[in-house]
Amino acid sequence: MPLQALCDLQIHVNGQHTFFLHQKVISRFSGKLKKIIKQEKKKTQIKNSGIEILDFPGGEEGFELVSRFCYNNGNIKITVSNVCLLHCCANFLEMTEKLSTFNLLHQTENFFEGLFYWSWHDIITSLKSCESFLNYADSCGLIQKLMTSLLAKIAQNSDINNLFGLSTSSASSSSSSSEQMKSSSISTNKVWWFEEMTILSPKIIEHFLRTLGAFGSENNSLLLTRFLLYYLKTSAQYCKSQNLISRIEYSGLADTAVKGVILMGKTAFSCRNLFWVLRIVCGFGISKECRGNLEKLIGGNLDQATLDDILVCGHNGGVYDVNLVLRLIKVFVHINDKVSIQKLKKVGRLIDKYLREIAPDQSLKISKFLGIAESLPDYARDCFDGVYRAIDIYLESHPTLSLEERSRLCRCLNYEKLSLEACKDLAENPRISPRIAVQALASQNSSSIPTTDNNFVKETKVSNSQMVLYKKNKSDSSSSSDQHSLQEEEHEYMRLNLQKMQWRVVELEKICKDMKGQMSKMVKTGAIIPPAHTRALPRLCRSQDF
């Protein structure tokens, strides 16, 4: 005989699972089911249609445990891993002492009376078991009860005051807090309870923070901020394989962590650690306000950053997040424009390195490259050799650029701040437009030429524009004379190169003009007219071929 024939009750749990039971057995322990069965008995189809139970805590697993309890004459093994589920099911089904002595609800309440003696691991395990029915467990007061016990365990083994933020009641307390924060490590030396808390869901962690009054903008605790960053870092690997909805569940925690970081500022976080924070939270959908405030904090300390710090991975097809660096530079320039020239020059050297690093990226647009190169004022660089080298790398990595695009790329150069060696290389570079090369040579010829030799210091006399070179150390007159002769040779060399380059440009312009005239005649007459001259186009050679 089939099981369905032996049972006189069908219960459909949450519209997904059906249980075949005996009315008498279930009604003995559940007040709620007893009432429903009594009402449904008036209907003739109760055995066939069954009873629908929606929003049952724990679903199939929970109802199966309750059924075992009922069929085992009110006995079941209660553990830290199932007590929360059993308690919620018993509360939902009204399994009270009115129906049976020592009913399920009474047994779970007795088990919770020993909560004070539970181990840390027991509390974490019990909290973990509540994830599938968290809202109902919270409405029963279980989550608050477990959180209180959890905090008690933390207090027994560490300073609970660290969880409640920094005291600002006096200047002395603020000073001591700052010293404490400086000595704290952000990414290492995690506190003993950090690791096991990472197995809990973001919703339970949010309950933990709310219990402490430290969720969102209320977070003023360095310890909790460190925990959240550790938790998010650990969860990042899991979120990579999940959909966007799962990642959004962490956004509130990410915002809370960022607000804590912003409150502590550079007192507790170095520039490198701030970039580390940004890398962690950017994948969790933090709010625009939090991201903007974090970028302002980082941008204000950009002079302390290294190349590795600003090489942040891109998210929209690019290898690097160039837009982020652009925003950081704008913040830095806005803060330090009239404050510290040395800081600007330090950032200038950093950005030159960054340009050379991102230049080979095939997806990097000219506008983005120029945006980075031109984001700093001219006086932030003593020399533009680094920018030129980055342009050369970009041109080599993007061979399909038109002449107009290559010329546009060179607009960020200050030719007067190019060293002699860089200017020579530019003039000989086949990837650089001849007109640009002429402009660079002309600028070098009309201004003092920077030298890369560290043994000399240049000085320009206003009266006759003559360049005089001095040794940093004292030298004899013959050495000075040799250097003067060498400089005259360099000037003569540059002058000849400039003249020949200008001649070739003029020749090209004439021939282009003739070609345009011939083309217009061809269009008008429809005939092919041979060119008026038969000479070959002038060859744009490297300077050594002159």
Return the domain boundaries, the chain: 9-154, 192-300, 339-446
Exposed / middle / buried, residue 82 (Cβ in 10 Å: 0-12, 13-18, 19+): buried
Distance, CA of 417 to CA of 388 (rounded, Å): 11
Could you please report the per-residue DSSP string of 259-325?
HHHHHHGGGT--HHHHHHHHHHHGGGT--HHHHHHHHHHHHTTGGG--HHHH-PBPSSS-SB-HHHH
pLDDT given at position 443: 77
Hey, is 542 helix, strand or coil? Answer: coil
Distance, CA of 210 to CA of 216 (rounded, Å): 9
Contact 287, 251 (CB under 8 A): yes
Contact 285, 239 (CB under 8 A): no
The CATH number of the structural domain formed by 9-154 is 3.30.710.10
pLDDT given at position 119: 94
pLDDT given at position 267: 81
Instruction: List Cβ neighbours of 339 (8 Å cut-off, separation of 6 or more).
Output: none
Question: Which residues, listed in sequence order, are joined to residue 456 by a DSSP beta bridge?
Answer: 471
Walk along the chain (546 residues) in steps of 10 and give the mean pLDDT of each run.
66 90 91 88 62 92 95 94 97 92 94 94 96 94 95 82 51 41 48 91 95 91 93 80 68 94 87 94 89 94 94 80 95 79 92 95 93 93 94 94 90 90 88 85 62 38 35 46 63 64 64 68 57 40 34
Q: Tokens 């977070």 — which residue?
A: 219
Distance of CA 34 to the CA centre of its chain: 56
pLDDT given at position 65: 96
